[in-house]
Amino acid sequence: MAKVTVKDLDVKGKHVIVRVDFNVPHKNGVITDDNRVRAALPTINYLTENGAKVILLSHLGKVKTEEDKAKNDMSIVADCLAGLQSAPVTFVNATRGPELEEAVKNQEEGSIVLMQNTRYEDLDGKKESGNDEELGKYWASLADYFVEDAFGSVHRAHASTVGIPTHIPSAVGFLVEKEVNVLGGALNDPKRPFVAILGGAKVSDKIGVIENLLKIADKVLIGGGMSYTFSVAKGGKIGTSLLEEDKVDLAKEFLDKGEGKLFLPVDTVVANDFDNPTDCKVVPAGEIPDGYMGLDIGPETVKLFQKELEGAKTVFWNGPMGVFEKPEFAKGTEAICETLAHLEDATTIIGGGDSASAAKNLGYAEKFSHISTGGGASLEFMEGKELPGVAIIPEK
């Protein structure tokens, strides 16, 4: 990528708005995982160390009611941020107006202003999410430069992602630069063989990505709940497993197009009940007895997928192989995760979401080349779609 990056800006003494992803998980006002704040630190530290006056903007959750507003108060991030780096942090409990403007005006070089949740602006007519022209222009008026570092939000054309850079010179931060380089490398110039592994609940969520990766990857391995729609497309019996009937014809189309490169499970772990599985067994794919549902890939499928992954030089993985939240149906996801973690000389990429959680929970996070910080954004990227928050940043 040849986008302008934060390093190309002369930031000393300048106000720089950074769109970060501080959409952290939290409970009762306490952050339960501060990874997103940590992921933004390289760009924030670079700017404060180089004398910028940094203004941080992020959304936190959805804000549709006054209750959401109280629950998603960005002030919980201020202490966390202050504890993770040394620049002074001023939290402003407003998204516009004199308090915000004063705080920005009084900023010293190397200091940080953290603004209240951008989505507070959604309560009065979806101004943030609807990319209100006046709002983007107003926020832009507070700064000299804009830096996009919220990869998890770049697939959304909001006032804070697309509106601001319409009005002032802009650049990508280190996090977005890395995401786009790694994902773009896999998409545009992958070292081959390139194997994609797609799982998760539904075919409908992954149509675009399956379509694009069938064109680009050398092999596409499909597991998880969506594999049962493919099984039906092949004439199989799937009991009470997840099925999207309206996607069976599409699955047939993918099977035709992907002949020789699309690999489906050959066996599956089934249970008599989702909530209270008292009877679990492994059966061949497409032979699930009535009253049973498929909840994980079986051991023969793990072997097949391991064989197809041998020698892979690039791997993109999105979506668990089964209901990995329940230990009895997590084995397939765990085995794939372990296999990828031990692949030698390969670029291994996890496309965020549940597969990223699985890798982290299993202690393999460090073994992957890249774990994307944006589930939705990385999927749209791999679909070949343009990401509005990246597209708006100029080329060098």
Q: Which residues, in sequence order, are bridge partners of residue 314? A: 194, 347
Per CB under 6 A, the list member of 1, 82, 201, 266 interacting with ligand AMP is 201
Q: Looking at 36-44, 199-207, 307-315, 380-388, which segment touches ligand AMP (CB under 6 A)?
A: 199-207
Q: Looking at 105-113, 278-286, 302-310, 317-325, which segment touches ligand AMP (CB under 6 A)?
A: 317-325
CB of 250 to ligand AMP, least distance (A): 16
Per CB under 6 A, the list member of 325, 328, 342, 361 interacting with ligand AMP is 325
CB of 47 to ligand AMP, least distance (A): 34
Residue 9: enclosing H or E segment and its boundaries? none
As annotated, the active-site residues are 36, 202, 353, 376
d(CA 234, CA 254): 11
Which 225-284 positions form the footprint of ligand AMP (CB under 6 A)? 225, 242
Per CB under 6 A, the list member of 128, 179, 354, 380 interacting with ligand AMP is 354
Under rule CB under 6 A, residue 352 binds ligand AMP: no
Looking at the Cβ atoms of 269 and 390, the one nearer to ligand AMP is 269
346 dihedral zone (left: phi>0; alpha: psi -120 to 50; beta): beta
CB of 200 to ligand AMP, least distance (A): 3
d(CA 372, CA 180): 10
Looking at the Cβ atoms of 87 and 233, the one nearer to ligand AMP is 233
375-382 and 174-188 helices, crossing angle to 10°: 30
CA dihedral 98, 100, 103, 109 (to 10 degrees): -140
Under rule CB under 6 A, residue 200 binds ligand AMP: yes
Under rule CB under 6 A, residue 198 binds ligand AMP: no
CA dihedral 89, 5, 20, 100 (to 10 degrees): 50
Looking at the Cβ atoms of 239 and 320, the one nearer to ligand AMP is 320
Under rule CB under 6 A, residue 332 binds ligand AMP: no
Under rule CB under 6 A, residue 294 binds ligand AMP: yes
Looking at the Cβ atoms of 190 and 352, the one nearer to ligand AMP is 352
Long-range contact set of residues 256-264: C-beta below 8 Å, sequence gap at least 24 = 257/214, 258/214, 258/220, 261/214, 261/217, 261/218, 261/219, 261/220, 262/214, 262/219, 262/220, 262/222, 263/219, 263/220, 263/221, 263/222, 263/304, 263/305, 263/308, 264/222, 264/227, 264/230, 264/231, 264/234
Tokens of residue 250, six digits: 């599409």
Under rule CB under 6 A, residue 224 binds ligand AMP: yes
Q: Looking at 85-93, 102-110, 197-205, 365-373, which segment touches ligand AMP (CB under 6 A)?
A: 197-205
- Contact between 88 and 113 under an 8 Å Cβ cutoff? The reply is no
Per CB under 6 A, the list member of 205, 211, 218, 338 interacting with ligand AMP is 205
Looking at the Cβ atoms of 23 and 160, the one nearer to ligand AMP is 23
Tokens of residue 374, six digits: 């944006």
Tokens of residue 391, six digits: 């597209």
Which residues of the chain form contacts with ligand AMP (CB under 6 A)? 200-202, 205, 224-225, 242, 294-295, 319-320, 322-323, 325, 353-354
